[in-house]
Chain A
Amino acid sequence: MAQTKKPLSTLAIPIWFIVIVCWLLSFRVYAKLTQATAPAGKGVAWVSPEQCEALLKKPGGPGKDLVLYEFTADWCPPCKKRERVYFRAPSVISEINNNFIPVRVDLTNKQLSDLPATKALTDKFDVESIPYCVVTLASGQKVDDDRYTFHQKFSDFVVKSKERSHPVKAKLALVRGDYQAAIKELSRELIAGDLAVSRYEFDDYLMVHHLLVLLNRQPEIEPMMQKSFAKTADYYKRYDEDKSKAALDWLKDINSYLRGQISDKQLIAGAKYEQDKANCYLAIGLSKLRSGAKSEAIKALHQAAVLSSKSYRSDGLSEPLVESLEK
């Protein structure tokens, strides 16, 4: 009985094992206490919202045309994980430092959240949860955002948002009437029809068509449309037959409209969802704009802006076009 009351004597844990575990646990505590601190000069060159405002107002511009806002807080465990894992990867650091003005928006407490520059950003981007990352042009237009807490491919997001900034710049150039600058921003694949047409990036397809018509590059239009259709059909093969057919029927309708084979009413009647209707109105608006029917164009583009905002996304084209036409 006396022996069974001494269980520890039969544990016989080697002292080295206890030492190693204790050392690892101490290291873990040390790493926890210092996890937010990146090695000096080796990380992302973050600036505060105030510093960013000053940079953007600087005469001659900030030198970079993209801004990356990272909304974060000291108490937010996933934010710390992002800091450790993504913002310390050499590829991500160089990509961000070379192409973006990186802004860390600290929401640790009310004092920091209420700073005018910070509050303006949280209101502008309607930040409801963190971590949250937004990429904008230096002129303020939103390019892309990342709401995934544990985004496995953050490096992909950074690279893709850089690519996605080009159509946004093209839209701005189109609105101010600089068509050559607009088409220069678009990728060769997009102009040649080498990309599938997604419902959510349909405005890019319409923009290419619009620009080619405006720049009198008619011979390129039909091949672009046919290639895009073939690519889209190929892309939708990954889905089941019904979904694929629905997506292609919708694209067929729009293409028929762009070729002048169906009327405005027929086009709208064929659209099932609000997002599709928004795209249809955008196509109608651009068509009216080309034909010089300004008031009808404003009406259709306004409708497109309203419908796309209802489906929680903006096409980035209809709203600025309406504003510019109304001026």
Chain B
Amino acid sequence: MTTVSKINSTLFNQAVFVNAFCTKFEDWRYWLFPLLVLILPAFGMAVTLSMPHPALTAENQKDYAEFIQEYYTNGMVFSFVAYLFISDGPASGKLIAESDTLSLLFTRPITRFCYVISRYCAALVGASLVMSLSLLLAKVVGLCFGLTAIDISPLMFLSILCNAASWSSLMIFLHSAAPLLAGLVYFILYGCSGVGAIYSRAEQSKDIFLEVLKSVCLFIDNWFGDLLPTSVNLVSMASTSAFDLYEFSIFISNIGFFLLLAVFALSVREFSYGAD
């Protein structure tokens, strides 16, 4: 009871944030992955454009710009970058013990909610920062080769922020759950998101089993298919479609839902700061 009463009820713990955001990067090996994400698009573009290539006509520029836009709204890239900040990676207990963070972390107990939110913030800021810097680097490299069409409008950066927000929430839930469960949930979510697409033109079947199977698959797709975050491209949405309150409700409720699940998942595991 005494322990519980001492729990700090604030939403955000700076030490957890700093640990997730900076401390583990004291190990140089951990720089490799964010650096790779940071320079990969710019490097790929520099290699392509420095080799003999078709002239950069207006159409070609558009193609390049669309490709770059797709990369910076790609869920797989965001999930990878977010996980780099959420996980502890090579930051073992030893590393944390050597760092200044340790004293801060254990000065007083924090709630699981606070821990989750702080780590989520670190992932959100980290992923947004890495992807935004990477986009800027791609823009600069593109300009050096005469490629001017890469979009660096505020909407593009907002898209990066939205994608980072949704994928970080899923990743923090998967990180909080037991590894086997996390893997299973990830595959189930992928399955649910694609199961409805099989029935793109399904005539009614006489076989009752097939009809039941179809109903089940469509039900799963309808109610659980959108739990896996979808890519948000505000640039494209702003120019071609209406504001969709439904899509927005899915986006925002997914974030809250996964954060809540993350806290519950963490509660059934032995709670430790640092080591994965």
Contact = CB atoms under 8 A, between A and B. Distances in A.
B244 A109 contact: no
* Chain A facing B: main interface SS: helix
A75 B200 CA distance: 9
Given A21-B257, A238-B54, A130 B200 contact: yes
Nearest to B269: A7
A16 to B, nearest CB: 10
A257 interface: no
Interface string A252-275: 000000000000000000000000
Interface in A9-26: 9-14, 17-18, 20-21, 24-25
Given A17-B256, A77-B222, A129-B201, A10 B7 contact: yes
A235 B202 CA distance: 41
B106 to A, nearest CB: 15
Nearest to B248: A31
A320 interface: no
A85 B242 contact: yes
B88 interface: no
A113 B204 CA distance: 10
Contacts of A88: 242, 244
Nearest to A244: B54
B225 A153 contact: no
Interface residues of B, number: 53
Contacts, number: 137
Interface string A1-42: 001000111111110011011001101100110010000000
Contacts of B57: 234-235, 237-238
A127 interface: yes
B3 interface: yes
A46 interface: no
Given A31-B246, A156-B240, A12 B256 contact: no
Interface stretch (B38-46, B122-130, B133-141, B260-268): B260-268
A78 interface: yes
Contact of B253 (A8, A21, A155, A234): A21
Contacts of A113: 203
A234 B55 CA distance: 9
A18 B249 contact: no
Interface in A129-155: 129-130, 149, 152-155
Contacts of B247: 84-85
Interface in A58-85: 75-78, 84-85
Given A24-B256, A27-B253, A90-B242, A75 B267 contact: no
Nearest to B114: A12
A57 interface: no
Contacts of B202: 75
B59 interface: yes
B55 A76 contact: no
B201 A155 contact: no
Given A234-B57, A238-B57, A11 B264 contact: yes
Contact of B199 (A75, A86, A234): A75
A239 interface: yes
Chain B CB count within 10 A is highest, among A9, A27, A28, A244, for A28
Contact of A76 (B59, B199, B268): B199
B92 interface: no
A258 B195 CA distance: 53
Contact of A17 (B113, B196, B233): B113
A25 B253 contact: yes
B252 A110 contact: no
Interface in A92-118: 92, 107, 109-110, 113
Contacts of A123: none
B3 A238 contact: no
A76 B249 CA distance: 20
A155 B250 CA distance: 24
A84 B244 contact: yes
Given A3-B3, A76-B200, 17 more contacts: A10-B7, A10-B111, A11-B113, A12-B7, A12-B111, A12-B114, A14-B9, A25-B253, A75-B218, A84-B242, A84-B247, A107-B201, A153-B236, A234-B57, A235-B57, A237-B57, A238-B55
Interface of B: 1, 3-4, 7, 9, 11, 54-55, 57, 59-60, 63, 109, 111-114, 196-197, 199-204, 214, 218, 221-223, 225, 233, 236, 240-242, 244-247, 249-250, 252-253, 256-257, 259-260, 263-264, 267-268, 271
6 contacts: A7-B271, A14-B113, A28-B253, A31-B250, A84-B246, A234-B57
Interface of A: 3, 7-14, 17-18, 20-21, 24-25, 27-28, 31-32, 35, 75-78, 84-86, 88-90, 92, 107, 109-110, 113, 127-130, 149, 152-156, 234-235, 237-240, 244
